[in-house]
Structures are given as C-alpha cells and as structure tokens.
Amino acid sequence: MRIDEYVGFDGLGLAALIRGGEVSAAELLDTALAQAVATDGLGAVVDVQEAVARASIAAGLPAGAFTGVPFLLKDLGCEAIDFPTSMGSGLFREHRYGYDSELYTRLRAAGLVTFGRTASPELGIGPTTEAKVYGRPTRNPWQQQHIAGGSSGGSAAAVAAGVTPVAHGSDGGGSVRIPASSCGLFGMKPTRALLPDGPASGEGWAGMAIDGFLTRSVRDTAALLDATVGPDLGAPYYAPALPGTFTEALARPPRRLRIAVSTRSFTGAAIHADCVAAVEHTARLCEALGHELVPVDPSIDIVRFMHAWSSIVACGTQLAVRSGQAALGRPATTDDTERVTRLACELGATISGADYLESIDVVHALGREMARFLSPTGPSYDMLLTATLGEPPAELGRFCSDRADGWTDFLDYRLNHVLHYSPFTALANGTGQPAMSVPLWWNDDGLPVGTHLMARAGDDLTLLQLAAQLEQADPWFARRPSL
C-alpha cells in the first residue's frame, strides 16, 4: 500500500480494508516500517521488533476492532515481554520484562500489530522528548526545530508523521495531551483507574498517572478505550461504571452543555495570543453547536498543587532510580541519568513519609474543589475549556532535562519554567477527572495549538461525544505536516 493511501485512513478504516480483503496485515506492516525509515530523522521510533510483528501475523491475529493495524508502544510502561525498553534512561537500557501488562494483553486482543517502541523523556519527566539515551531529540513533524511534546512525544510524532494511525501513550501531568496539542492530534486522559495498571503496580504517581492513546480520529480513541477499559485483577481502585461503550456514545450528540471557559493561566497570568485564539475558536464552535459558554477565571491555587505534584513525582522518580540501580547492581552515575532526574531524586531524599502523605492530601483537596466546580449542585458547569498549553510548541533545547544550566533544583524546573509553559494539564491528573486536547487551531507559523476540555469524573463518554461534535464541525483529519 502506498503511503498516500495509508495515511488516508484511520485505524478503524485500515482494519475495515483488511476485513474486506483489500489489503493484508503484512502489507500494512510493510508500509508502516517503510514510513518509520522515511521519517527516521524525527527521532520518533526508537526500537523496532519486525520479527515479533511478522510472527504475530503469521500465527493468526485475534479478531478485534483493529485486527492487522500497525501499532507502537511508548518506551515507558505498557510492559511486554517481546518489547525491551529503556524508559528513556541509560539506567534501564534494553531492559526486558518477564511478563505482559494487562494493558498490552488487551491491546493485542484487539488485533493490533505492535512492532516497536517510541521515544520518551527519561522516566516520563518533562514536556519534551529529548532523552540522551537515544542520541537525538524527538522533533515536531510540523516544524522540526520545535519539540513534539512530552512525555509521549515519540508516539505523537510517529502518528503525526503517518508511521501508524494510532499509538500508545501515558499521562501523569499532561503527557498525552501536551504532545497531542504539539503535533495536531487528538489525545485524551481518561478518568483515574478507568484503564488497568497491573500486574506491576496498582497506581502511578499516587494515582495521577494513567495510560492513553494518540490518534488522528476520535472514533479510534473510542475503540481503543473500549478495547482496554476496566480494572485488572486485584486493582486497588475502580473508576465509576460507564453507562455504555465509547463507540456507542459517538452515535449520539452530547446533552446541551454548560461550559466554563478561561483564556488565562490558573495563576492568573496571560497566555500566548495564539493559545487565546485557539480557545476562542473552540468556544465559538461549541456555541454554534448549541452549548452555553460562560467566561470564568477559576480560583485555583495551582502553585500549591504543583508543589505537591512535584513532591510526589520526585519520590516516584527516586523509586524508579532505586529499582534501576538494583538491576545494575551498582549506584547510578551521571552517565546513567539526566540532570532533572538527579534533581528530582535530590528533592525526593528530603521528603519524609509525612511530607509525602501531606502532598497527597493537598492533591485530594484540590480534587474535591474541582469536583464542586464541575458539580450539578455547584456552579453547574459540565466542563472547563482552556488552552492545552500556555504557548505554541517550544523550540528544541528549552526544556531539555540534561541541560547544565537554566534551573537550580527540581522545584525551580517545574514551578518557574514548566508551569508557565504548561499551566493547565496536570490539574486533571491530580483530580482524576477526564480531560482531552482537541486539534482545532494552527497558528500563522503552521504549528498546531490544542484546546483543552476537562469534565466531571466518570463523564468520559460525554467528553468524547463533544470531541466527535467538534471533529465534525471543524474536521482536522486531512491536516497533515508536509515532511
């Protein structure tokens, strides 16, 4: 199949071609592998296991929504025996798992043909994907001197570049939605615990991290969520039960929604004019669709929240480094880890058990505050609309975690540098609410600028219904970077 034909279909569209006998899974894999080579300069795909993929096709693929569709895993999480990982770190270079995660098992049952992994920043920290373990940064397919976002930047760049129609990501502070915004894709973070974390763990970063997907169509995200939704055996938390499937929900429009909209950062600071324009465009679309838009300036102590978020992430990073050192049988060196990782570990070493629990309490308190904000009995808002980022995609190097200059410690990095750039997405990780980045705006420089919507916990179906409405009102699928 020619690449111009291949990129004309989403994942479900390609699966339909296979079912109709118009193309084979092997032919689609050939196209995906060729496109991975053709776009290798982006630094998106970092490990290819072609033999594993061909063996899975030869053995007979499961019958699922995506049977025969090429797929990529982020190089962080989604543990799979056949797919080694570095987690973006020299500390875990070519690490092999002895088990398959429940998420990967469900993805495989959906018929996806996984053939490799995509770049991640070291241990998933940061809004850019420039890990030194890969020897090069991941570039934005729209303009290659800009970042693809993080931490699922490799997956976003691969999907935007047409290597695969869909790819795995994960999100602990915006790591699906930031790269979705940066690369002109649709990205959604589901309600906390909606997807399985096992068997390795019950939660990531005190429940703030969850898996997700990078796609070019809303219906692909719906079908991927349908294939993976639900707790795994022994899960410590359960998300609210959904009243039906995501795919079924897309057949109906959402109820008339009352949407709070803000064009300022949660700190009260102004955001970039391109991001304001993106929000205003999305607001006009929502109004044209019959929804009510209410201007607000939410009173959120985002700085206090990010202090707590940073403490939790620092402790999680410290644990990951400890695990890597145990596997290596020696302490980590500066060749094994990057500077921001070391700064996170330094902060983690100062946090007591009581401090850690206090940070969780701060995060939970804000979760209750946002639940009241989006409660039918509170101000009666169904969703909150903001920009996804405070600026268009940054230039490479600005947030590179191995920089020797630019920040003094981990809190300085997060609060004085990253927070201005990404002031919105981490909130939904702390509150556990579903949130999405929708690609409806490109600036005059040709860079995508996403808009962000957060809904009530458990109201994932409504969120996706609104995404489908927006996709139909202002289609983005045909917009592709000129590589």
What lies within 8 Å, CB to CB, of 230 at 6+ separation is 194, 195, 196
Q: Which of 151, 152, 170, 401 is catalytic?
A: 151
Cis before residue 482, ω within 30 degrees of 0? no
What are φ and ψ of residue 73, in 5° steps? -100, 140
Question: In this predicted model, what pLDDT tens digit does every residue of 244-268 receive, in sequence order?
Answer: 999 999 999 999 999 999 999 998 9
Check if the beta carbon of residue 390 is closer than 8 Å to that of residue 422: yes
3-state helix/strand/coil string of 225-270: HHHHCCCCCCCCCCCCCCCCCHHHHCCCCCCCCEEEECCECCCCCE
Question: In this predicted model, what pLDDT tens digit does every residue of 414-437 receive, in sequence order?
Answer: 999 999 999 999 999 999 999 999
Question: In this predicted model, what pLDDT tens digit does every residue of 165-181 receive, in sequence order?
Answer: 999 999 999 999 999 99
Share above pLDDT 70 across residues of the chain, in percent, rounded to a whole number: 100
Say what the pLDDT of residue 376 is. 84
What mean pLDDT do residues 60-76 have? 98
Any catalytic annotation for residue 151? yes
Q: Above 90 in pLDDT, residue 48?
A: yes
C-alpha–C-alpha distance, residues 151 and 170, integer Å? 8
Residue type, 245: T
C-alpha–C-alpha distance, residues 439 and 467, integer Å? 10
Share above pLDDT 90 across residues of the chain, in percent, rounded to a whole number: 96
Q: Which of 74, 101, 189, 217 is catalytic?
A: 74
Say what the pLDDT of residue 375 is. 86
Check if the beta carbon of residue 398 is closer than 8 Å to that of residue 365: no
Beta bridge partners of 72: 116, 167
C-alpha–C-alpha distance, residues 269 and 312, integer Å? 25
Domain boundaries, the chain: 3-473
Cβ neighbours, 10 Å, residue 57: 16
Beta bridge partners of 118: 45, 74
Say what the pLDDT of residue 101 is. 98
What mean pLDDT do residues 263-290 have? 97
Q: Which tokens sit at 385?
A: 């609309």
Burial of 251 (0-12, 13-18, 19+ CB in 10 A): exposed
Say what the pLDDT of residue 379 is. 83
Burial of 97 (0-12, 13-18, 19+ CB in 10 A): middle
CA distances from 82 to 29, 51, 70 (A): 17, 10, 15
- Yes or no: is domain 3-473 CATH 1.10.645.10? no
Beta bridge partners of 442: 448
DSSP characters over 386-435: EESSSSSPPBTTTT-TT-SSS-SSHHHHIIIIIHHHS-STHHHHHHT--E
What lies within 8 Å, CB to CB, of 354 at 6+ separation is none
What mean pLDDT do residues 392-399 have? 98
Question: In this predicted model, what pLDDT tens digit does every residue of 289-319 receive, in sequence order?
Answer: 999 999 998 889 999 999 999 999 999 999 9
Residue 7: DSSP 8-state: T
C-alpha–C-alpha distance, residues 251 and 437, integer Å? 21
Average pLDDT score over the chain: 97
Go through 204-224 and write b for each residue having 16 or more CB atoms within 10 A of its CB, e for each that does not.
bbbbbbbbbbbbbbbbbbbbb
Check if the beta carbon of residue 147 is closer than 8 Å to that of residue 42: no
Q: Which of 56, 175, 265, 437 is catalytic?
A: 175
Q: Above 80 in pLDDT, residue 378?
A: no
What are φ and ψ of residue 101, in 5° steps? -70, 160
Any catalytic annotation for residue 175? yes
Q: Above 90 in pLDDT, residue 17?
A: yes
Say what the pLDDT of residue 327 is. 87
pTM over 0.85: yes
Residue 154: DSSP 8-state: H
Say what the pLDDT of residue 377 is. 81
What is residue 305's three-state secondary structure? helix
What mean pLDDT do residues 34-54 have? 98
Pure H helices in 69-123: 102-109
Check if the beta carbon of residue 122 is closer than 8 Å to that of residue 401: yes
